[in-house]
A and B are shown apart, each in its own frame.
Chain A
């Protein structure tokens, strides 16, 4: 069936939406169909496993389980949405403690201001102002409105050293006050004893603790989801193959116990021992992986539900065969999804935008979660009403011919597809936001020794700055560098609007991660080190021709920069000096700088021996 194309943006008709979807699908069809079939197979295996575990389970119960899984997934991702802003606050409270002059200037400027609402992709400056206001307000609450009793006042006024006063007060409060007020009383005591800077450190700790919990929940949940649909084993296989090509099989996860051990490393117990920066890098990596898979994963979910495929998947399995989604069927179900998805995306985006500027209670279709008011629920009803009017009978008429296997009731289709699209939308938004907060904090982050934009030797700088995407890599205390692709224009605009420039550190040593044929190793698994890997790195000797191993050792101990990443300088009296010189790249001009006394100066290779 074909339609005459009218301008998509000027005439919003059902037929235009279908044509747009067809045009997109025709371009990506072969790749998309094979991806969808691949994921479809994985979910089919999951459905079969559900039935094998519980042979009495009905088809309806399996479908409900899939719906519940998708709902849990959305909840996990929504909960992770607090990570980006909590990390910004955590870094801001750290920064303000180190820069009391900036704190005082901002506190004087902001006197009597009310606390503004923070927006997505807000600047470090906005967070700083917000943190100062927050601290001033809460400092006065603790200072003026939480009185100390006679005993605590005596401890405060005594001549003992501050550490002793704090210890005595802690013991006294624990033995005297009920659990629920102990923290407030002790915080008030600390603030009265040590002043405003202490209040900042209290908030830093508060954000640190919340953030750690959120990061652990996010990482463990993503790993569970990738494992549930058997995506993680593929990554592990790929990692093992790469390690084999590097003659380092033992660094991989080649047997059952190594794989089990890898899962243990992603448990709360092990992750809790990692620093915030390591967890942020790890979470950014796995969120990025997840965001690459989530769209096709949700498309498979939708195909199974819309086409009522559970009975067929199970029937084929009983016969010893596998139900496969044909290319033709994949195209037709994708056409339905891609007809609806731009409309759902626009609806979600405008609602998301209103959340930034209007009161939640006044936004149609948005409600706060009963248990956590930072979590929001979206209803698809306003969109359903709109599309019912705009599409009228056309939707049913068209899809009853194009996709007769489905009932094609618009309202039901939106009900089924909307939560899945929201999951994709939220994951992608969150992924970009996490990348942005990492980039924003990279320049002055004393906890990340080597992290920044990847500049390959064979890349001209022009290629990097003209490309749509750039690579961000970070060395943390993890088995491989965390490497993600970032949308360049988007990030450089945000960085320059908010920090005044788009200058970022350059990642050093990317050439170390290439195989013997000079092909770049891609990053398929990043995890904390296991004991075997740590031991291996201690015992195996370096290959002088390939610095791969010494870079892995650097990851094991990111404070100890290997020789090949250090620069030899000749000082004015002719003496050689080795140092890990950070270079910086301006994402607009491609110019390379070094930093001296907080000032960027153009890098001159002639300094280097």
Chain B
């Protein structure tokens, strides 16, 4: 679960990098848990591997989220956009 209080605190402090790190971790954890429901032997190693497993054993929505998570980790984009994207991804995953 997202540590809401901590997240709000850093958001108010405008420490977006830290908020991004928290959200990334949460999105990643949800995807890992969802894969492990299908394949209990799955162990997280890298985002590249995570993406591949999402494509092969989860829904298209989760696949798209995994790809976006991967893309956000390598692209040089505005922090605020990255944060908004991750929030949408997190909300989508908990509503799936």
Give the distance in Å from the alpha carbon of A385 to the alpha carbon of B10 in the complex: 44
- A-binding residues in B (CB < 8 A): 17, 21, 24, 45-49, 51-52, 55-56, 61, 63-65, 67-68, 71, 73-78, 80-81, 84, 88-89, 91-92, 95-96
Cβ < 8 Å to B, chain A residues 356-411 = 356-357
Residues of B within 8 A of A353 (CB): 51-52, 55
B48 close to A27 (CB less than 8 A)? no
Residues of B within 8 A of A7 (CB): 88, 91-92, 95
Proximity bits, A15-34, B CB within 8 Å = 1, else 0: 00000000110011000000
What total count of A-B pairs have CB within 8 Å?
A: 73
Beyond A10-B61, A466-B21, 15 extra complex contacts between A and B, CB < 8 Å: A7-B91, A8-B88, A10-B92, A23-B84, A28-B77, A28-B81, A346-B67, A350-B55, A353-B55, A468-B17, A487-B73, A489-B24, A493-B45, A494-B46, A494-B48
Cβ < 8 Å to B, chain A residues 201-234 = none
Cβ < 8 Å to B, chain A residues 470-511 = 485, 487, 489-490, 493-494, 497
Give the distance in Å from the alpha carbon of A356 to the alpha carbon of B49 in the complex: 12
Give the distance in Å from the alpha carbon of A532 to the alpha carbon of B63 in the complex: 55
Of all chain A residues, the one with the shortest Cβ separation from B46 is: A493
- Leading 3 A-B pairs by shortest Cβ distance: A9-B92, A497-B45, A487-B74
Cβ < 8 Å to B, chain A residues 107-142 = 120-121
Residues of B within 8 A of A28 (CB): 77-78, 81
B52 vs chain A, min Cβ distance (A): 6
Instruction: Tell me whether A349 and B92 are in contact in the complex, defined as CB-CB below 8 angstroms, given that A10-B61, A356-B52, A490-B74 are known contacts.
Output: no
Question: Interface SS of chain A: helix, strand, loop or mixed?
Answer: helix
Residues of A within 8 A of B74 (CB): 428, 432, 487, 490
Residues of B within 8 A of A487 (CB): 73-75
Residues of A within 8 A of B55 (CB): 350, 353
**Best-surrounded residue of B74, B77, B91, B92 (most CB of chain A within 10 A):** B74
Give the distance in Å from the alpha carbon of A174 to the alpha carbon of B64 in the complex: 58
Residues of B within 8 A of A342 (CB): 68
Residues of B within 8 A of A27 (CB): 78, 80-81
Residue A345 at the B interface, CB < 8 A?
Answer: yes
Of all chain A residues, the one with the shortest Cβ separation from B82 is: A468
Residue A469 at the B interface, CB < 8 A?
Answer: yes
Of all chain B residues, the one with the shortest Cβ separation from A28 is: B78
Of all chain A residues, the one with the shortest Cβ separation from B78 is: A27
Residues of B within 8 A of A468 (CB): 17, 76
A25 vs chain B, min Cβ distance (A): 10
Cβ < 8 Å to B, chain A residues 83-122 = 120-121
A540 vs chain B, min Cβ distance (A): 37
B88 close to A9 (CB less than 8 A)? yes
Residues of A within 8 A of B52 (CB): 353, 356-357
Residues of A within 8 A of B80 (CB): 27
Residues of B within 8 A of A23 (CB): 81, 84
Of all chain A residues, the one with the shortest Cβ separation from B76 is: A469
B92 close to A8 (CB less than 8 A)? yes
B47 close to A490 (CB less than 8 A)? yes
Give the distance in Å from the alpha carbon of A493 to the alpha carbon of B44 in the complex: 10
Select which of A428, A466, A497 is within 8 A of B17 by beta carbon. A466
